[in-house]
Structure 1
Amino acid sequence: MSSLTSTSTTTESTAPGTAGTGRLPRLPQPLKGVTWLVWRQHRAAFRTVLGASALAVACIVFQRSQLQIDGYTHMSTGLRLTPILLGVFLGAPLFAGDLENGTAKLVVTQSVSRTRWLTTKLALTALVVVVSTVALSVAFGWWWSLYKSEVTATEWISESTFNNTGPVPVALALLSVFGGVAIGVVLRRTLTAMVVTLGFTVVVQLVWSHFLLSLGNVVTSTTSKGVMAETAIQTLPTGAHPMDGANPYLTGDGKLLGWGTCADAQTEQARELCLQKADVVGWSVDYLPISQMNGMQWFGASILLALTAAVTVFLFFWGRKRLA
């Protein structure tokens, strides 16, 4: 017995890298401390987001290489739902789960401060969201570039294109996720926070779509060649998105008249005479040129990121006192 004890002790004290302490050497970890803890706690969600994004990117690359457009609509719809899904399933439970099951109280009783815990969670989550959405944005933008010079380029202002390319999907996703985090911190119940976040992210999408056209500078194109059938409304540049104009008729003194002008004329000859009396000389069309797309996206993204920053400030003021 004494021989076995002596041998065991000698083996432990002479193990390489232990300096005679009798402890096994620690393996190096790529993530340490709070960062490692946060990654381990949410690794399933983070890996799901990154894996799904990689799969979607691979699908986009394959379909573009085959010059396929069949899946374009389905893919664009799926990408538009990405900020909503991230907000509900990643943002809302991020802190709500800890507050509900008591993990938050355990964390703050350790040597980790609330601010550090909050910062690490938000930073790592934001990193995962940015990496995944940037990859999707670049891939989908590369796919859409095939049709940018065609007549269908007028669809650049549609949500399926505008919201899925450039910085917009990244900014929308960050606002949705951080909004979900704030909702979870306030409500402190995971399921309730997820339901409310679903409503929040849908409202964000609706409000964003409502103000989308106001991000650009409207360009007006006019012609003084008449408005009869043989002088139809002028052709706009490729990719131009015509605005809904209620006053398309242009008079000789520069005034605009609505579609209802001379609408009660019984014949074409009577209509022509009526328009002549009204001094209508041509058309006036308002439109957004495709050349403004990039500027509109960055302007809109800056607004969304500013809102995200405001939510982040709220989280730090609220979290430092009540995140437990």
Structure 2
Amino acid sequence: MSTLTSTGNTPAATSTDTRRGLRLRGTTWVVWRQHRATHWTLLAAAAVCAAFCFYQRQEAITYLEGYGYPHLKDGWADGFPRALLDQTRSLLGLLPIVIGVFVGAPLLAGDLESGAAKLVSTQSISRVRWLTTKLVVTALVVVASTTVLSVAFTWWWSPVKSSNIIAPWYDSSTFDNTGPVPVALTLLTVFAGVAIGMLLRRTLLSMVVTLGFAVVVQVMWSKVRTSLGNVVTVTTHNGVGDGAWPRLPENANVLDQSYLTAPGDLIGWGTCASDTEKATEACLAKHQVVGWSIDYLPISQMSSMQWLGASVLLALTAGITAFIVLWGRKRLV
């Protein structure tokens, strides 16, 4: 009898232990339960958006196959359904701001404003553990959702990435929504929002300040984006008339164009702009213009530029994270 009882209970006990082992426990469970509505909303929205991108990818491929994809014929871009692609990449470009405001800013500000942080400080758990658990759980959710969105949008955009007419790679709403950039940008705004909320201790005020900070980050990022690449310069000595423009790689991002003179100097291409062709030719002759000098970034540098930029953004995020932990360890409540 005792043998049968022991044998019958062992699998049940093992099964129970297994189920318990798969569940969140302790501080992680508390943090997840506290923010589960926000986290599930973010994950669900990412899944829906990714499914939409996958569907639109198939629609785009169906259209492009009518023009011989992957070797596209002339005129394929005229009827390409670009409106949805443009609208989607514009909306995705707002995600770092939206997530930073609605996920990052309230993360600690809400607890500090409601007094929940004081309650935590009276428990056996340390402040550092409580802080790091909140940051890690939130970071995992943000990374998972933004990675899914980045992969999905990149897959949708990839068939037309060689075009400089439809969603060129150097456009901010394309560059910032593919590769590691959206993940790094979102993490930066989220953790900055957490730090702002920790300092201001008011949820609404923290959200407003985080909004301003996120907008400033976007503006500054747009100014340094092109500096992440190695500028390529090509010059010609065939004049500046028809057919003299240098051959550039497809979808090259032209940063600057100048006239090249015989002594090797550069002058602005608008220097000889005139209403009459005769006046223009006289100006070109006067300055001894012999060709063009073009500075550009090729699409082949896109990946390296993105990873370099992402590493800078992640380094800033790491610094903010260290500040949150160090400040919160002694001054959180």
Shift of 1:77: 1.3
Residue 153 (structure 1) shift: 6.4
**Cα distance change of structure 1 residues 108 and 26 upon mapping to structure 2, 3 Å threshold:** farther
User: Where does the alignment leave 5 or more consecutive residues of structure 2 unmatched?
Assistant: 1-8, 11-16, 61-80
Distance 1:140 1:107 in 2: 41
Residue deviations 1:25-44, cap 9 Å, x none?
A: 99726100000000000000
Aligned-partner Cα distance in 2 for 1:51–1:260: 52
Pair 1:283-2:292 in alignment: yes
Between structure 1 and structure 2, the one with the greater Rg is: 1
In the other structure, the counterpart of 1:309 is 318
TM-score, scaled to structure 2: 0.85
1:78 aligns with 2:91: yes
Q: Provide the rounded CA distance (Å) in 1 between the counterparts of 2:19 and 2:51.
A: 34
Letter in 1 for 2:193: G
Cα 1:197/1:262, change in 2 over 3 Å: closer
Q: Partner of 1:118 in structure 2?
A: 131
**Tell me, what secondary structure is at the counterpart of 1:272?**
helix
* Residue correspondences, number: 298
The partner residue of 2:146 within 133, 143, 148 is 133
Runs (4+) of structure 1 exceeding 6 A deviation are: none
Residue 214 of structure 1: CA displacement? 1.1
Whether 1:250 aligns to 2:260 is yes
Question: How far apart in 1 are the matches of 2:166 and 2:265?
Answer: 31
Q: In the aligned structure 1, how far is the partner of 2:84 from the partner of 2:194?
A: 33
Match of 1:236, SS?
A: coil
- Asked if the contact 1:96/1:190 (under 8 Å) is kept, the reply is yes
Gap change, CA 1:323 and 1:258, over 3 Å in 2: same
For residues 144-193 of structure 1, give each alpha carbon's deviation from its aligned partner in whole angstroms, at most 9, with x where no partner exists: 10101234367111111100000000000000000000000000011111
Kindly tell me: are residues 282 and 132 of structure 1, through their superposed partners in 2, closer, same or farther at Cα, counting changes over 3 Å? same
Indicate the residue corresponding to 1:56 in structure 2.
49
Q: Is the 8 A contact 2:100 2:211 kept in 1?
A: yes
CA distance in 2, matches of 1:44, 1:177: 17
**Matching of residue 235 in structure 1 with residue 265 in structure 2:** no
Gaps of 5+ in 1: 1-15, 18-24
- Aligned 1:152-191 pairs, distance under 5 A: 152=165, 155-191=168-204
Does the CA-based 8 Å contact 1:154-1:241 persist in structure 2? no
Question: TM-score normalized by structure 1?
Answer: 0.87
Distance 2:156 2:106 in 1: 33
- How far has the Cα of 1:263 moved from its partner? 4.1
Matching residue within 22, 26, 29 for 1:33: 26
Deviations 1:247-293 (A, max 9, x none): x11012211112343446x7433432442232211111111111110
Question: For residue 268 of structure 2, what is the amino acid of its counterpart?
Answer: G
Identity of aligned residues (%): 59
Look up the equivalent residue of 2:250 and give its one-letter code: T
Q: Kindly state the Cα deviation for residue 212 of structure 1 after the two structures are TM-superposed.
A: 1.2
Distance 1:217 1:40 in 2: 47
Answer yes or no: is the 8 Å Cα contact 1:133–1:170 preserved in 2.
yes
Amino acid at match of 2:127: R
Distance 2:175 2:18 in 1: 50
CA distance in 1, matches of 2:206, 2:262: 60
Other-structure match for 2:271? 261
Match of 2:33, as an amino acid?
Answer: R
CA contact (8 A) 1:53 1:136 kept: yes
Structure 1 residue aligned with 2:36, among 34, 40, 43?
43
Quick check: 2:252–2:299 contact (8 Å CA) kept in 1? yes
> 1:249, 1:256 within 8 Å by CA — same for their partners in 2?
yes
CA RMSD, Structure 1 to Structure 2 (Å): 2.0
Write the distance in 1 (CA, Å) between the matches of 2:99 and 2:270.
Answer: 47
Deviation at 1:233, TM superposition (A): 2.3
Q: Report the Cα distance in structure 1 between the residues aligned to 2:40 and 2:238, rounded to whole angstroms.
A: 61
